[in-house]
Amino acid sequence: MDKNRIITIANQKGGVGKTTTAINLATALAAIGERVLIVDLDPQGNASTGLGIDRKSRKLSSYDVLMGYNTINEVAMETAVPNLSIVPSTMDLLGFEMEISQSSDRAFRLRRALSTPEATGYSYILLDCPPSFNLLTMNAMAGAHSVLVPLQCEFFALEGLSQLLDTVDQVRRTVNPLLDIQGIVLTMFDARNNLAQQVVSDVRTYLGEKVYHTLIPRNVRVSEAPSYGKPAILYDLKCAGSQAYLQLASEVIQRERRRKAA
């Protein structure tokens, strides 16, 4: 049995709530007492900024880990959330793809870095991906146990989801046969919007139990939090968005218990 659970948060679309989910799910898991690490794999570095790690303080980054220059713990920085650390991102990541595209282990750089005893010191490792199927996302999918997909409740949601599931199948055939679907979480849900209701029901019909019961509501407090360098859960614990992320974390943990028991 694996000592930790490595979950990649992926969706090829930008702005669907990947980073928000990474930050707040990680915070909620840490609050329950799990030791959690986020690896920021997006050159934009929103997860790093959103956890209060400003650019100037980032000396090393996920780039150095991918390149094999440094270990996870050499690069990981503590955040204001107890039990939550982050391997930040820097713009160096933009060069990774070009520098590494010819090397035969190009998809396995992160897996190698995460298969060290250091990585087992964290019970959950969440990988925040860029909004595309590039080599960074490929490294995340190759290095993870599972994929958690944030899906925005909008018209093209199902189309995007089936593309993503095709990609997961392709990853299973090539670099990671054991890659699991951790779950689908519906984000930015607005109950007043009929289309959003329809999307929820379609996604549930299509994917059944894989879809979390928790719906993350569209909530202005959630969108304000990153500008204060805080997870929504620290910025405003009582708001509906924070409460939903706490509920999501408890669903994730329940499923993990069931999976381990099976």
Q: Give the footprint of Mg ion on this chain (CB under 5 A).
A: 18-19, 46
- The item of Mg ion, ligand ADP, none sharing an interface with residue 16, based on CB under 5 to 8 Å by kind, is ligand ADP
CB of 223 to ligand ADP, least distance (A): 3
Subset of residues 189 to 228 that bind ligand ADP, contact rule: CB under 6 A: 216, 218-219, 222-223, 226
Q: Taking Cα atoms as reference points, which of 32, 36, 38 lies closest to residue 8? A: 38
125: left (phi over 0), alpha (psi -120 to 50) or beta: beta
CB of 91 to ligand ADP, least distance (A): 17
Instruction: Provide the angle, in degrees to the nearest 10, between the axes of the packed helices 135-143 and 93-100.
Output: 90
- The item of Mg ion, ligand ADP, none sharing an interface with residue 20, based on CB under 5 to 8 Å by kind, is ligand ADP
18 binds ligand ADP (CB under 6 A): yes
Exposure on the CB side of residue 83, measured as CA atoms within 13 A: 16
Nearer to ligand ADP, 13 or 119 (CB): 13
Nearer to ligand ADP, 41 or 119 (CB): 41
Six-digit token string for 234: 């620290």
Looking at residue 179, the DSSP 8-state letter turns out to be: -
Nearer to ligand ADP, 16 or 31 (CB): 16
Q: Cβ neighbours of residue 214 under 8 Å, at least 6 residues apart?
A: 185, 244, 247, 248, 251
Instruction: Please name the residue ranges forming H helices in the chain.
Output: 18-31, 46-50, 62-66, 72-75, 93-100, 109-114, 135-143, 157-174, 194-207, 220-224, 232-235, 240-261
CB of 135 to ligand ADP, least distance (A): 18
- The item of ligand ADP, Mg ion, none sharing an interface with residue 29, based on CB under 5 to 8 Å by kind, is none
Subset of residues 28 to 47 that bind ligand ADP, contact rule: CB under 6 A: 46
Six-digit token string for 194: 């009929």
> CB of 50 within 8 A of CB of 189?
no
130 binds ligand ADP (CB under 6 A): no
Q: How far apart are CA 98 and CA 96, in angstroms?
A: 6
CA angle 246, 51, 219 (to 5 degrees): 50
CB of 187 to ligand ADP, least distance (A): 6
CB of 150 to ligand ADP, least distance (A): 6
Return the residue of 19, 27, 62, 176 that touches ligand ADP, per CB under 6 A. 19
> CB of 230 within 8 A of CB of 20?
no
CB of 100 to Mg ion, least distance (A): 22
CB of 41 to Mg ion, least distance (A): 10
Nearer to ligand ADP, 46 or 85 (CB): 46
- Which residues of this chain interact with ligand ADP, rule CB under 6 A? 14-20, 46, 131, 187-188, 216, 218-219, 222-223, 226, 241
